Homo-oligomer: A and B are copies of this chain.
Amino acid sequence: MIKAVVEIRLKPGVLDAQGKAIEGVLDQYDVEGIEQVRVGKLVELRFATDKDIEAQVETLCEKLLVNHEMEDYHYTIEECGDE
């Protein structure tokens, strides 16, 4: 089986509300030196075929998974067992 892992992140400069919320409570957890927190999405697509995988992942990133005004994406394609 083959798995595509798509990492979707907010573009630099776009306000990250989730990240800001985490930053706002860091002082309760005895941690220091964290300048910024950014939160993104991981989308894993498991394929039962190895036909046109890259083209299909691009189609889904372009048309369904990513908001291109606010987000960037990057993906890797890897073999995976039947985890």
Contacts and interface: CB of A to CB of B under 8 A. Distances in A.
Chain A interface secondary structure, helix, strand, loop or mixed?
Answer: mixed
B34 A39 contact: no
Interface string A15-35: 000000010011001111111
Contacts of A22: 43, 64-65
B42 A9 contact: yes
Interface centre among A31, A39, A63, by most chain B C-beta atoms within 10 angstroms, is A31
The size bracket of the interface on A is: 35 or more
A70 interface: no
A59 interface: yes
Interface of A: 1, 7-9, 12, 22, 25-26, 29-49, 51, 56, 59-60, 63-65, 83
B29 A64 contact: yes
